Amino acid sequence: MRPRTLFDRIWEAHTVVPEAADHPAVVYVDVHLIHEVTSPQAFSMLRDRGLPVRRPDRTWATVDHSIPTRQTGGRPAWLNAATRRQVETLERNCVRHRVPLFRAGDPGQGIVHVIGPEMGLTQPGRTIVCGDSHTSTHGAFGAWAFGIGTSEVAQVLASQCLLQSRPRTLSIEVSGALRPGVSAKDLILGLIARFGVAAGRGHVIEYRGPAIRRLGMEARMTVCNMSIEAGARAGLVGPDDETFAWLEGREMVPRGDGFDRAVEGWRRLATDEDARFDAELHFDASRLEPMVTWGTNPSMACGVSEPLPEPRGPEARAALDYMGLEPGRPLAGRPVDVVFIGSCTNARISDLRVAAGVLRGRRVHPGTRVLVVPGSASVREQARAERLDEAFLAAGAEWRAPGCSMCIGMNGDHLRSGELAVSTSNRNFEGRQGPGGRTILASPATAAASALAGAVSDPRPWLDP
Amino acid sequence: MKPLSRIVSRTVVLPGDHVDTDQIIPARFLTATTREGLGAGLFADWRRDASGSLRPDFPLNRPEAEGARILVAGANFGCGSSREHAPWALVDAGFEAVISTSFADIFRGNAARNGLAPVELDAAAHAELVASPGAEVSIALETGVATFPGGGSARFTLDPFARRCLLTGLSPLDFLLSHEERIVAYEDGLPRE
Ligand code: SF4
């Protein structure tokens, strides 16, 4: 048989109706995740047509984007009536259609791309979709996971299927080893800086090579998360022992013999030695520094102590203008107003451990507001058990309830116009974190070090060797 | 969705590359639970200054832009989030087509599903349109030809299924539901979990 890639196998196993000249393939969806922002209109489309949710048992809902992450007077601090209405609409829709929902305060609640893996819903070989572009995160487990629009959310709710043209495959082979203090976030920012924000368009990326194999699962999630920032709809990593060990014992993962059988199947998914990709790129991880973005798309990035490049073209010039930065000088030392440690890119327990390690026993700069927002209730609980929350609070950072928070600035946590932030999230678009706000993307270590200095900082002096 | 076969309109030109969905419609407009009225949020942070006044020099605010149904944009238009609010906002503001040299994957699909034609032209034809904002352009979806003032024209290809949906108003949801039997058969073959 023709040698195949991991993606080829998932595609073939999920084709309900093959592609034809006048229509794309009908592809089956194993897991459908929904949240309050991109689902209300989808449920309305169902209601208009009198259609039920076909597989409520394959659908899971959470609230994350517009929920408050703090309380005032013992009550959730809703930004406005609209955000509250959006959450209540989801609750009503889930009750009506018997879709399981994690509400704010529930132990299973959190950012949709954090809780899927946590529950063990995210498994190798599955198709996973959500009305959210960072669904690519789940690819870290060797699943084909991608973001969809709201009409497609309605299609999946009604048919458990989607129409898909077969994407092309792109191998990104990462050689070398990351140096100490350089993380998965720096790696993906480095990749996007090198290959650009459209490099993956039309493709599913498979991240391969020794540098990827050495990453833990949470680090792989960080890499796959930002596949969309490289223009790809999905990015994945072949499952291995690291993957299986991370999954074992999770709620939705089979136990005992069932687990052993599942692992056997998962092992067979691996890309064949001699399989061909439609395109291939190579990257050497061993020379990377901690990365920071200086512009208004994620490819506008460089090492933290490198001088900012002379702008090539009008977009880079406009980006520097927007950011209030000058070429020729490094970002290190630049004062920052806000540090945000959170988001589906970097708010899992390993991220918080790194940040707490930098902040423990120290104080954040008095001129800098620092927000730490765990990715899920279970991350928050674990952080408490490890007393990371104490480290954050004692350092003068805010410690919030789980949600997207300042990553998207929908819930009242946002930058004020002109403020400059170091943020562990994934988008530095103009106004992404609040109208007029300016975002520097970086790793949790870099963000925490910048919080101490009140200025963009190389984290390496603060990290234990 | 109403069928759409030919779009004839003056253009509005927004030349920058990589216009992301956070610019097309900023996140604070995403708290809506319906699709109507999102045009008010279209390019909100570019259309208005911090005090909320319209910026007269922004292309969509110029008097010539009034009633335009074709937006000419730069490469990789619609990158970023999967929010369908982006095409909803464009459609609500009266647009029926976006012309670019390339579109982000999710945006392209979202646009076509909402009666907004994603028209990809080659760099030379695109440059010609960028250089003449307000030009009267005719887009024929059936034949895949865009005609410029002065008689010049350029070909484009739409995804065949997207084209069929635009031309006939066919809904992808109906198409999926018509395969119910195949879906059931597929599910019957799935291992029990
Ligand atoms: S954390 Fe940010 S990127 Fe992730 S799902 Fe929430 S809003 Fe989207």
Give the per-residue pLDDT at A337.
Answer: 98
**Average of pLDDT values for B90-118?**
96
User: Which chain B residues are within 8 Å of A158, Cβ to Cβ?
Assistant: 173, 176-177
Give the per-residue pLDDT at B101.
Answer: 97
At A193 the three-state DSSP class reads helix
The domains of chain A are located at 6-164, 168-286, 292-462
**Whole-angstrom Cα distance, residue A344 to residue A346?**
6
CA distances to A78, A90, A161, B84, B144 from A66, rounded to whole Å, are 9, 12, 27, 17, 41
From chain B residues 128-157, the ones with a CB under 8 A of any chain A CB are none
The domains of chain B are located at 6-188
Topology of domain A292-462 in CATH is Aconitase; domain 3 (3.30.499)
Q: Is the pLDDT of residue B192 over 80?
A: no
Give the per-residue pLDDT at A465.
Answer: 64
Query: Is A370's C-beta closer than 6 angstroms to any atom of ligand 1?
Result: no
- Which class is domain A168-286? alpha beta
ipTM: 0.95
Topology of domain A6-164 in CATH is Aconitase; domain 3 (3.30.499)
Query: Is A344's C-beta closer than 6 angstroms to any atom of ligand 1?
Result: yes
Distance from CA of B85 to the nearest CA of A (A): 9
> Would you tell me how many other CB atoms lie within 10 Å of the CB of residue B182?
13
Six-digit token string for A330: 């490094």
B47 touches chain A (CB under 8 A): no
User: Do B31 and A21 lie within an 8 Å CB cutoff?
Assistant: no
**Exposure class string for B145-166: b at 16+ Cβ within 10 A, else e:** ebbbeeeeebebebbebbbbbb
Question: Do residues B47 and B63 lie in contact, with contact meaning Cβ atoms separated by under 8 Å?
Answer: no
**Whole-angstrom Cα distance, residue B64 to residue B51?**
24
Q: How does the average pLDDT of chain B come out, rounded?
A: 94
Of the candidates A3, A15, A442, the one whose C-alpha atom is nearest the C-alpha of residue A222 is A442
User: Which chain B residues are within 8 Å of A85, Cβ to Cβ?
Assistant: 31, 33
Question: Do residues A396 and A339 lie in contact, with contact meaning Cβ atoms separated by under 8 Å?
Answer: no
Q: List the single best residue of B81, B107, B193 to mutate versus A (max A Cβ within 10 A).
A: B81
- The reply to whether A292-462 shares the fold of A6-164 is yes
Q: What is the CATH number of domain B6-188?
A: 3.20.19.10
Cβ pairs A/B, distance under 8 A: 166
User: Do A158 and B173 lie within an 8 Å CB cutoff?
Assistant: yes
Furthest CA-CA distance within chain A: 65
User: Do A16 and B183 lie within an 8 Å CB cutoff?
Assistant: yes
Q: For chain A of 465 residues, list the mean pLDDT of each consecutive stretch of 10.
A: 94 97 96 97 96 98 96 89 96 98 96 98 98 98 98 98 98 97 98 97 97 98 98 97 98 97 98 97 97 98 97 93 96 98 98 98 98 98 98 98 97 96 98 96 98 98 83
Span from the CA of A268 to the centroid of ligand 1 (angstroms): 32
What distance, in Å, lies between the first and last C-alpha atoms of chain A? 49
CA distances to B7, B105, B134 from B70, rounded to whole Å, are 8, 20, 9
Q: Phi and psi of A181, rounded to 5°?
A: 85, -5
Span from the CA of A65 to the centroid of ligand 1 (angstroms): 7
User: Long-range contacts of range A316-321, CB-CB < 8 Å, 24 or more positions apart?
Assistant: A318/B16, A319/A294, A319/A295, A320/A294, A320/A295
Span from the CA of A135 to the centroid of ligand 1 (angstroms): 9
Helix and strand counts by DSSP (H, E) for chain A: 15, 21
Give the per-residue pLDDT at B193.
Answer: 56
User: Do A410 and B28 lie within an 8 Å CB cutoff?
Assistant: yes
Give the per-residue pLDDT at A247.
Answer: 98
Q: List the single best residue of B33, B34, B77 to mutate versus A (max A Cβ within 10 A).
A: B33
